[in-house]
Chain A
Amino acid sequence: MSIKVGIPRALLYYYYHPQWVTFFRRLGVETLISQKTTRGLLDKGLKSTVDEACLPVKLAVGHVLDLRDRVDYLFLPRIVSTARKEYICPKFLGFPDMVRHTINNLPPIIDCNFNLYHKGSSSADFYFQVGKFFTRNPAKIIMAYNASKAALDKHNLDMQSDCLPQEHAAEGSADSNGINIAVIGHPYVIYDNYISMNMIKRLRDSGARVLTADHLPESVVREEAYRLPKKLFWTINQRMVGAAYHYFSREDVHGIIHVASFGCGPDSFTGELTERCARNGSNKPMLSLTVDEHTGEAGMVTRLEAFLDMVRWRRNMADAAATL
């Protein structure tokens, strides 16, 4: 029977899962992804984390609990940094230890450091450390690593062409009566159907085309983010700000939805910077939502609908003005 590694469907799973899964498969290791978020799963996470933690961390702990008794290893890489001189967030730095010291009866944890902070560092180092858990053959690791890189590249291109993680691939509703809405938020929030309350699908169902930071090449996002007075050292929030700035300046984008997570430190700053941008120098409608464990679906739906109505109304006005 082959060894089974559990990967929580949380945090940077949304960016890296094709790479991780491919890497393990090439090493002959089976992977098990935790189930999709449900109320029950979230509740378990809430019970096992300190009250003050942000929603995504609580949710991630729920996913860990979902896997705990079903796998031989838990894959909880310590994502220190995914770009030079940047971090994701302090909680990513401590996540494996938070889990280790709050949850009992865990299988062994694979918590190697993924760290591209320093000049000359490479993701290969990380995969080598992980690979060593399962094989002594470096050639095998190299091959698995190369294949995994290709999988990641493909995933990134797919996202740019509207094939988002989970079942968020656009279902050919290309026409979308011409409304484009940008959704700005952490990938592990906006692509999680439960805590985002299916926002992307809802928007699509009501005829809007959804754009996220992941539709843009990294270079575009970074360039926009350089307009900030000082480089942001949180990679994902830098992406969010960069994408927001980009979409604010794009004619064909009709509204922007900013989704913050309750208790998120970086969001409290970048949300502020984004809103300021919206207020000074753009008249694009913007909706700011904060998701927390108590957010009611009904309230969110009402706000989304009201927002879409306003976007449509503005758009019609603009069209009318253009034909005058």
Chain B
Amino acid sequence: MRVTYPHMGHMWICIKGMLEYLGVDVVIPPPSSKKTMQLGVKHSPEFACMPLKLNLGNFMEASQMGADTVVMAGGCGPCRFGYYAQVEHAILNDLGYQYQLVVLEPPQKHITELIGKIRYITQNRSWFKVIKGIRLGYLKASAVDKVEQRAYYSRPRELRPGATEQAVKKALAKIVAARTPEEMPAALDAALEIMNGVAVDQHRPVVRIGLVGEIFTLLEPFANMEIERKLGNMGVEVDRSIHLSEWINDHLFMGLIKNERSSKPAQEKGLAYLGHTVGGHGLETVGSTILYAEQGFDGVIQLLPFTCMPEIVAQSILPQVSSDLGIPVMTLIVDEQSGDAGMITRLEAFVDLLTMRGDTPQLKDRNFGVEECPQRMRGHTSA
């Protein structure tokens, strides 16, 4: 059995860590690329959301590398993610791929079911070992989060351009290299030391932007066209509303581990505008925007793939939040045709707007709602 799973940003690091610790033969698909997208688009329903298309491309590429089993998360609605595995499996079957599918559905019954499934993949390792493996995966996810957070800080302030990028690579390599939960604390220390080694100008003025939206688009640099790096290079310190450790814990480990970060506060805030959860992270998108406004961020960018249902609900509500709380919000919609150039123009215009507001206190107090803010952009990032 050679196991593969779809890419979502740095998620591969924690799943690989967990499965290899348990002695599973893992095939990591090549990082998502234009080719992955083309493969996926060719065989997916036209209006499927983008993550499905990339997943499919990942599986096709991994199959060429010898993978024969897919592990992925499931769900019980209301958004499409809960049916991804089944649609993808049907498409792969019709194309003649012989994949065995293991879906980690949220525990309708009990967490033991999940552990049972993992034991199946790992050919009956002991429970104790499986739980330790899950712990390793989680430790890696939270270490990755910490590295990324350091990068948010140093990117707009770095003295030597590109220093942060290099440091991130090295730091992640340390996390990848750790093979047991026992090795993790040292690996994390080493990774953070590398990150702290980036020389920065602490006094450089930066613009602060919160990133909210659909999880896959937020976490996968190929999908968001490396928005974090692009913004960082424009002198923006970003913060992301959802982190890997949170998602892994909620969707793969079924909340088994007590997470330091939680989406609760965002959900509670969001209820003021949206009276019900809407699946995906729609409610969190609204709530996080409110939280960013309260924390004095200069602006918020919402990211979503074309046709994403929960985020369209949120998108409809954000202009009101923006106007009530006086925080500019820009929505960026990505699809398979999105291009770099269009994206950069939009980001630059938005950052200029925020800088201008920051420099002129009268502007800062003005209400930048939809009607009043001609620069507010919506629509595709495609050129």
Interface residues of A (CB under 8 A from B): 49-53, 78, 80, 85-91, 93-94, 96-98, 101-102, 111, 113, 228-230, 232-234, 260, 262-269, 271-273, 276, 280
**B45, A272: Cβ atoms closer than 8 Å:** yes
Q: Which 7 A-B pairs have the closest CB atoms?
A: A233-B77, A94-B313, A87-B78, A268-B47, A101-B320, A90-B309, A272-B45
Closest to A271 in B: B45
Which of A78, A97, A111, A268 gathers the greatest number of chain B CB atoms within 10 Å?
A97
**B46, A268: Cβ atoms closer than 8 Å:** yes
**A93, B277: Cβ atoms closer than 8 Å:** yes
Closest to A265 in B: B309
Give me 17 other A-B pairs in contact (C-beta within 8 A), A51-B379, A91-B278, A102-B316 excluded. Answer: A53-B316, A86-B77, A90-B309, A93-B279, A94-B278, A94-B282, A94-B313, A94-B317, A97-B316, A98-B313, A101-B316, A234-B77, A265-B49, A268-B47, A268-B307, A269-B48, A271-B45
- Size bracket, chain B contacts: 35 or more
Q: Which residues of A contact B91 (CB under 8 A)?
A: 272
Smallest Cβ distance from A81 to chain B, in angstroms? 9
Q: A49 to B319: give the CA distance in the assembly, Å.
A: 12
Query: Does B275 lie at the interface of the complex (its beta carbon under 8 Å from any beta carbon of A)?
Result: yes
Q: A269 to B278: give the CA distance in the assembly, Å.
A: 18
**A266, B276: Cβ atoms closer than 8 Å:** no
Q: A263 to B308: give the CA distance in the assembly, Å.
A: 9
Given contacts A265-B49, A280-B94, are A49 and B316 in contact (CB under 8 A)? yes
Q: Which residues of A contact B280 (CB under 8 A)?
A: 90
Smallest Cβ distance from A228 to chain B, in angstroms? 7
**B87, A234: Cβ atoms closer than 8 Å:** no
Query: Does B117 lie at the interface of the complex (its beta carbon under 8 Å from any beta carbon of A)?
Result: no
Interface residues of B (CB under 8 A from A): 45-49, 74, 76-80, 82-83, 85-87, 89-91, 94, 273-280, 282, 306-310, 312-317, 319-320, 333, 378-379
**B274, A266: Cβ atoms closer than 8 Å:** no
Q: Which of B46, B80, B317, B378 contacts A101 (CB 8 A)?
A: B317
Q: Which residues of B contact A52 (CB under 8 A)?
A: 306-307, 312, 315, 333
**B275, A111: Cβ atoms closer than 8 Å:** yes
Closest to B76 in A: A233
Q: Which residues of B contact A89 (CB under 8 A)?
A: 78, 309
Q: A85 to B106: give the CA distance in the assembly, Å.
A: 13
Q: Which of A50, A53, A93, A262 contacts B276 (CB 8 A)?
A: A93
**B319, A101: Cβ atoms closer than 8 Å:** yes
**B276, A78: Cβ atoms closer than 8 Å:** yes
Q: Which residues of B contact A232 (CB under 8 A)?
A: 83
